[in-house]
Structure 1
Amino acid sequence: MKELSRKVKDIKPSGIRKFFDLANTMEGVISLGVGEPDFNTPWHICENAIYSMSQGKTHYTANRGLLELRQEICKFHKTRYNQNYDPETETLVTVGGSEAIDIAFRALLNPGDEVIMLDPNYVAYAPAVELADGKCVMIQLKEENDFKLLPEDLKNAITDKTKALMINFPSNPTGGVMTYEDYEKLVPIIKESGIYVISDEIYAELSFDQEFASLAQFEEIRDQVIVINGFSKAFAMTGWRLGYVLSNKEISAQMTKIHQYIIMSAPTAAQYAGLEALRNGIDDVLVMKNDYLNRRNLLVNRLNRMGLKTNMPHGTFYVFPNIQITGLSSDEFCEKLLEEEKVACVPGTAFGESGEGFIRISYAYSLDHIKEACDRIEHFISSRIK
């Protein structure tokens, strides 16, 4: 048989799935590895999808998605995030945020174009760049800076080959956030360089201690920013696979072309579920968010008390503790913790080289599970911290 694609063969499997799959083969494991809400999708959201099917709404929608949904998305973003987009020409409904990331890079990149990535970062970004024939240039985010992107680091990373900057705040895996004032310092650099910014804002509704901010709020670079968001995290709708992308109409038209050929349209029932979520689901989000906040506070306090230095994450449902005091690498820590105490976490190296010395723990699990996991982690490290 002929050789398969070398480009695909060279991409490593997700480090997140590795430990999740391993944990599934063991009895009695507490898995804190996968970033998926433990809440079920609120019933009124499910009900709207079921009702749509009962009314025969089981056909393709427009390629861009239901106009009614796109209008609601734009209204939501204007009201909650002060972002302005046209539902007809600047909005595209996708199969999750993952498709949006993929088609954004494919629409932007020519072979050899550079994309600035923040390290550590979500596992899907770099492979998407590679599949679009781009090249990743890493900026190391530092614990002492609360994992923020600093203006001097961005300026130093930009070259004539730089096409785009990929950001994700609130951040998976660190839980770090950027304030409006933080972004304000980046705006002149972005404007002068002319680069695009792909801003993954899937955790926007899970900002805890300060108001969510976005580069799309700055009118002077608004057309350079591509906003990616969706329903998975805030509305507990991971299995519905519903996301969207907001951008200027020229970029949106190119992304829509790719979407037309590879997808056609996002699932119709999921779109009706999304419509109900935006119209009547914010109270559900607030209830879940408050629960996450309680879990975060307990987990961060426990980890710091047991000796694992852990920055307070101001968004998402992840913590990123520093495990260097144990003398173990990130991979060794997670492997031994799973083997000895049956707790599954993700090594920081799954998110880039700068993740060495850290692990990611998700608190999208019940308080009881988190408390028990903390007891096991404390037992695990007690003999290893000198």
Structure 2
Amino acid sequence: MRQFQELGHKVVLIIGDFTAMIGDPSGRSKTRPPLTLEETRANAKSYVEQVGKILLTNDPARFELRYNSEWLEHLSFKEVIKLASLLTVAQMLEREDFKKRYTEGVPISIHEFLYPFAQGYDSVPIACDVEMGGTDQKFNLLVGREVQAAYGLEKQVAFIMPLLVGGDGQKMSKSYDNYIGITEEPSEIFRKLMKVEDPYLPTYFELCTDLNPDEIKAVLEKGGPVGAHRVLARLLTGAYAQSLIPSRIDKNLYESLGYHWEAFGQDQGGQNPVVQHAEARYYEIAHGGIPDEMPEVSVPLGELHGGKIAVARLFTLAGLTASNGEARRLIEQKGLRLDGTVLTDPKMEITFAQPLVLQRGKDRFVRVRPG
């Protein structure tokens, strides 16, 4: 989208606040829980913040922000019937997710069939020429073409992009804890990129950088896995740390950070303080050190009993585990540490009167304070 802007086009970013109340069924194995309009508007704030790091949002000639509740909330039932007449049930069941659910006897609600029409209608009021989306949105984008034709508009071009998987090869998702957020702290971005599994490095270079195929091949072959990870982590950490992500994340950007391209990640140092600090912290933690800077959480005094607290409960309150049960399981597996010491007793209670450093695995830290 940024490249389209730089080529002179106007980008219209549509926040699907109304369609979120239906719940996008794309790739879902069951009905998605709908959200209220207020919830979707709250979520949209973070979307706009992230987009502001990528798109040229201050130029009205190249950027426009719209919410699809503007037109969908007032659509008449007559118009809904018109939209629903554009496709047959058989065509809807050609969608992979719907087909799978129907074959397996998993319920499909009628309102889920309406989602592609609602998204497709978005292209009508803005007279969209090109709509961009991931491979999971192919069906919805093609429906948009049919909806435009029904309203006398020229069919949009469906610009379909491959999806970036998480570093572990699964779909990138907060629920899998395998996502990389462009507004996260640089040290977190660097850490997560260094943990991308080797088989997915080529994909990350292809989708997240502007290096050409020969340059990517050279990094992977001459730098090896360690060197390639360093190049990727330095490039993206340096890019995402800027208020506006550079137009090109390439060899020139890498050298502007103070690294030698031909070293392919084997050199140390660099001149960018943000990237330097993120890399130094990563290696400090990798060698068993405890960083000085980390997230801090205050634990309510009401959680203490006689000045003590179950250590499993403490990890859950700190956000390092989803539940007390998960914390106990990780303690049994020796996966949690308290002030650098491996925990072994899942029923352990501790006196909590001063700040403590909690650690999950090698690189997740939280400092907890009472009160």
TM-score by length of 1: 0.26
Please identify the structure whose Cα radius of gyration is greater: 2
Of structures 1 and 2, the one scoring higher in RCO (CA 8 A, sep 6+) is 1
TM-score by length of 2: 0.27
